[in-house]
Amino acid sequence: MTLVDRPLIQYAIDEARAAGIREFIFVTARGKSALEDYFDHAPELESILRRDGKEELLEVLKNTNMDSGAIAYIRQHRAMGLGHAVWCARRLISDEAFAVILPDDVIAAETPCLQQMIEAHAETGGCMVAAMEVAPEKTGQYGVLGVGAENGPILNVTSMVEKPAPKDAPSNLAVIGRYILTPKVLQNLNQIKSGAGGELQLTDAIAAEITNGRPVYGYRFDGRRYDCGSKSGFLQATVAFALSRPDLRDEFMDYLNAVVAMRKAAE
């Protein structure tokens, strides 16, 4: 899916790179092989752009290149949940903390969300998840946190529940798709049973850390999150990102104003 002029996945990679991450594992599925070509070098196209003096486009294209050996693709053969997707990558993750990004959560922020979290994680260690308040009636769409002490944006997580009904939710603080996890979570994924929706849930594997007496933190990030997995969220992201682009802003703003005025007049 393309947001303005780049695939969603590129926003995720840019955010991770800005946070200093250099090695990537994509958990993909059938029909996603275009992803591998997208992040590969495109020598023919590069030489045409160079020949035509299109330096700006060349730069954009180069951003999609990955160093050899810095990127791996793993297939999830059946959609058995986010926990299962991460578990599929277990043999490629070495014995150190790793980040998980869900690319359909796009976060517009001055300091990229993952960078904010990595800086906070340098102080705390343990596991950390991005957290954001959602409308109480929406808890059933998210992993939801029970929290204890708060230290600025860092929250001590005391419980985690995947997609609880509002009456069962420990709060309205939801997990957003950015995680910094320890390899222990991968071991937990081996032990837990399927949870909400009959799927292997990452939330449950992180919650097992709390049960085992190890710390889990929530991080109230500074930024605006767009749920590009929903139609309305994707449309909102498209408008917001287009308006933040100096090359598109004025023309697009005029268009939006005209469309809104026309609609209002018609109603």
Least distance CB 96 / ligand G1P (angstroms)? 23
86-94, 170-178, 179-187, 211-219 -> range binding ligand G1P (CB under 6 A): 170-178
Closer to ligand G1P by CB, 84 or 121: give it: 84
Q: What is the identity of the amino acid at 137?
A: E
To 10 degrees, what angle do helices 8-18 and 113-124 make? Answer: 40
Regarding 19 and contact with ligand G1P (CB under 6 A), the answer is: no
The three-class DSSP label of residue 127 is strand
- Contact between 182 and 97 (Cβ < 8 Å): yes
Binding mask 95-124 for ligand G1P (x = CB under 6 A): -------x--x-------------------
User: Which of 112, 143, 146, 195 is in the footprint of ligand G1P by CB under 6 A?
Assistant: 143
Question: Among 10, 28, 76, 203, which residue interacts with ligand G1P (rule: CB under 6 A)?
Answer: 203
| CA atoms of 17 and 80, how far apart (whole Å) | 28
Is position 132 an interface residue for ligand G1P (rule: CB under 6 A)? no
Does 204 interact with ligand G1P (rule: CB under 6 A)?
Answer: no
Length of the chain: 267
Q: What string of H, E and C letters represents the secondary structure of 93-113?
A: CCCCCEEEECCCEEEECCCCH
In the complex, minimum distance from the CB of residue 72 to ligand G1P, in angstroms, rounded to a whole number: 22
Give the list of residues 6+ apart from residue 167 with CB closer than 8 angstroms, or none: none
Residue nearest to ligand G1P (CB): 143
Q: Considering the complex, what minimum distance in angstroms separates the CB of residue 65 from ligand G1P?
A: 28
Listed in sequence order, the residues at least 6 apart from 260 whose beta carbon sits closer than 8 Å to its beta carbon are none
Under rule CB under 6 A, residue 27 binds ligand G1P: no
Nearer to ligand G1P, 120 or 205 (CB): 205
Look-up: residue for tokens 């490629």?
92
Other residues' Cβ atoms within 10 Å of the Cβ of residue 111: 13
Shortest distance in whole angstroms from residue 190 CB to ligand G1P:
18
CA atoms of 35 and 177, how far apart (whole Å):
20
How big is the site for ligand G1P, counted in residues (CB under 6 A)? 13
Question: Is the CB of 143 or the CB of 146 nearer to ligand G1P?
Answer: 143
15 binds ligand G1P (CB under 6 A): no
**Residue that has been written with the tokens 């590969």 in this structure:** 40
Composition of the chain by helix, strand, coil, percent to 5: 45, 25, 30
Q: What residues line the site for ligand G1P (CB under 6 A)?
A: 82, 102, 105, 142-143, 162, 174-177, 202-203, 229
